[in-house]
Structure 1
Amino acid sequence: MLRLGYKASAEQFAPRDLLDYTVLAEQAGFDSVFVSDHLQPWRHDGGHAPAALPWLGAAAASTERVLLGTSVLTPTLRYHPGVVAQAFATLGCLAPGRVILGVGSGEAMNESPLGLEWPAGKERFARFKEAIALIQALWAGERVTIEGNYYSTRNATIYDLPESPVPIYIAASGPAATRLAGRLGDGFICTSGKGRELYTETLLPALADGAAKSARTLADLDLTIEVKVSFDTDRARAMDVTRNWGALALTSEEKTGVEDPVEMQRLSDALPVERTASRWIVSDDPDEHVDAIWAYVEMGFTHLVFHDPGADQAAFIERYAEHILPRLRARAVREA
């Protein structure tokens, strides 16, 4: 089954506005809403950073049907994994069968401002793997005692567990973390706008390899991708709104270690619009737009979460509900 989701960009909108957009997305027919979890946004001017955990509780109370998840939360430094396990168990009780814990290995700009030392890549991955295992252990047992390299528990119990287990979706952009997603996760999260070969020759094979280590296949996982889209009847306007998210077009080398939203904004604003738009599917034609999106379905992705860079999210939701979601669903039926 093809799922179509809405990305609630916490970096761009105030908590109340973000909640209103989530309700609109449910009413418009989106299947899921994923919220980002940042201590600091990508931009200083006009940026926002509401905390995902209380916000998700409000979203659960304000909606009835959509799946709700994080894309993504980092359970390794700002949060102890046990706190994450407790919080998402509670959310799962409040919205049974509708909550997803999406996790990633993190960004320096979310941890370093709190005085936390940003570890090297090898340690980040080790912490990430240990944190996921601890969350799963706490959800599976009582009086859990674990002495890990980074996290410990002593007779810990999560007393309120939902009847429907909360799935864990693991975000990754390289083969090692992607194999981990296949081995330990219920779903996989990545982002669009990179070369096709990264998905078809690196990430998806690594995911299949990891799944095989747990006696599973890709069919057992929800393959989720955040699809960066800018669809408008005016193509120039669709191009221009991508400027607000120029940080996505920065290379790893350009933004690695950047911890300050002011500096990230400076780097982003220096980019030409042709480059800021390079990570987005920019179109003023709905059929062309759907064709570009469908390439990810053909690769094997089963859950598309749409991220629009514009300030008027209500208009985006309306345009997508009218022109794009019906076309995608009709094509899914035709090609099933």
Structure 2
Amino acid sequence: MAHFGYTMMTEQAGPRELVAHAIGAEKAGFDFSVMSDHSFPWLESQGHAPYAWSVLGAAAQATSSLPLMTFVTCPTFRYHPAVIAQKAATMQMLSGGRFRLGLGSGENLNEHIIGAGWPAAPVRLEMLEEAVGIIRSLLAGDTVSHRGPHFDVDNAKLWDLPEDPPAIGIAVSGERSCEIAGRYGDLVIATEPRRELLEAFDTHGGAGGPRIGQLPVCYDTDRDAAIARAHDQFRWSLGGWQVNAELPGPAGFEQAGTHIRPQDVADVIPCGADVHTFVEAVRPFRDAGFTEIALAQVGGDQQEPFLRWAQAELLPALREL
């Protein structure tokens, strides 16, 4: 049976609102929650980018049973992997064991702010692999000194460790990232319902681990309003990750999306209030073998009506899959 999650999107809501959304998701009956970790929104119309880790700590205190997860954090530019390990250990303790650490190779949109440049994808994946190894060692309680091609660690140790370390998920989009996920991850993360990604994860050692997907949705009783909002705030998502990982800011995404029509977005993102349409959009993830699917409602000011509808209609229908 698949589990269904709720996405707290730092790109489209402020910190206090995001915590309120987590409380609402728990009350609505979602099985888990994930949270983006951005320094910029994708588009200016989204308008937000609070510090995800502060919000996660607040959400851990404001909820009692909702599992929380970064979806995803890049441990190679804005954050040093030793700092990520400390963040993750603390979050696992604050949440009472409800935290999972989702990691990925990042996007230029968020990582450019430290002025370190943006290397080619193979280098970013090398950095991710090295970073995950450091994080795992620290979460295991080791004292770590490391001199690597990308990171140095000098006599690091975590002094507050949870009884059980948080599970680590790795975001994948191709063979190399699947190899890293299979070797170092406890679970795999993807935003496309591609069975071959899960098979590659299994091949490289991940067999049996959870598989988490994500789907943007746009609930509104007025379908035309939903389509307009999805186009305004989420047309960037149609660019694909080879494009989305490279552009440096919202202006670039604005330019890249000029050719995308509202109907193009509606063909990909379920819009409106027809439960069947939303269920059918989720089905490819379930059929591909994903065990958990996180829904991302478009529109920071549209979360409460979505959560009410999800509790009353959408989640019961999804659980019949």
Task: Tell whether the 8 Å contact from 1:15 to 1:50 is kept in structure 2 after alignment.
Answer: yes
CA distance in 1, matches of 2:148, 2:308: 48
AA in 2 matched with 1:210 = H
CA distance in 1, matches of 2:54, 2:264: 35
Kindly state the Cα deviation for residue 35 of structure 1 after the two structures are TM-superposed.
0.9
2:269 is aligned with 1:275: no
Kindly state the Cα deviation for residue 172 of structure 1 after the two structures are TM-superposed.
1.1
Q: Report what 2:310 is aligned to.
A: 320
CA distance in 2, matches of 1:34, 1:253: 23
CA distance in 2, matches of 1:252, 1:111: 15
The normalised TM-score by structure 2 is 0.93
* Mapping for residues 25-174 of structure 1, pairs under 5 Å: 25-174=25-174
CA distance in 1, matches of 2:245, 2:216: 21
* 5+ long unaligned stretches in structure 1: none
* 5+ long unaligned stretches in structure 2: none
CA distance in 1, matches of 2:240, 2:27: 37
- What's the CA shift string for 1:61-103, capped at 9, x where partnerless? 1110101111010000111100000111011111122001111
AA in 2 matched with 1:279 = V
Task: Tell whether the 8 Å contact from 1:249 to 1:278 is kept in structure 2 after alignment.
Answer: no
CA distance in 1, matches of 2:143, 2:260: 53
Task: Tell whether the 8 Å contact from 1:246 to 1:269 is kept in structure 2 after alignment.
Answer: no
Kindly state the Cα deviation for residue 251 of structure 1 after the two structures are TM-superposed.
4.3
Q: Report what 2:183 is aligned to.
A: 183
Larger displacement relative to structure 2 (242-251 or 124-133): 242-251
AA in 2 matched with 1:302 = T
The share of aligned pairs that are identical, in percent, is 35
AA in 2 matched with 1:326 = P
The normalised TM-score by structure 1 is 0.89
CA distance in 1, matches of 2:186, 2:3: 15
AA in 1 matched with 2:227 = M
2:3 is aligned with 1:9: no
How many pairs align?
319
AA in 2 matched with 1:88 = A
2:220 is aligned with 1:239: no
Kindly state the Cα deviation for residue 269 of structure 1 after the two structures are TM-superposed.
5.0
Kindly state the Cα deviation for residue 293 of structure 1 after the two structures are TM-superposed.
1.4
Q: Point out 4+ residue stretches in structure 1 off by more than 6 angstroms.
A: none
Task: Tell whether the 8 Å contact from 2:5 to 2:34 is kept in structure 1 after alignment.
Answer: yes
Larger displacement relative to structure 2 (311-320 or 243-252): 243-252
Which structure carries more relative contact order (alpha carbon 8 Å, separation 6+)?
A: 2
**1:254 to 1:56, Cα distance in 2 relative to 1, 3 A:** closer
**1:293 to 1:149, Cα distance in 2 relative to 1, 3 A:** same
Q: Secondary structure at the match of 1:279?
A: coil
Root-mean-square deviation (CA, aligned residues, Å) is 1.8
Q: Report what 2:197 is aligned to.
A: 203
Q: Report what 2:297 is aligned to.
A: 308
**1:261 pairs with one of 247, 250, 254:** 250
Kindly state the Cα deviation for residue 266 of structure 1 after the two structures are TM-superposed.
3.8
Task: Tell whether the 8 Å contact from 2:141 to 2:161 is kept in structure 1 after alignment.
Answer: no
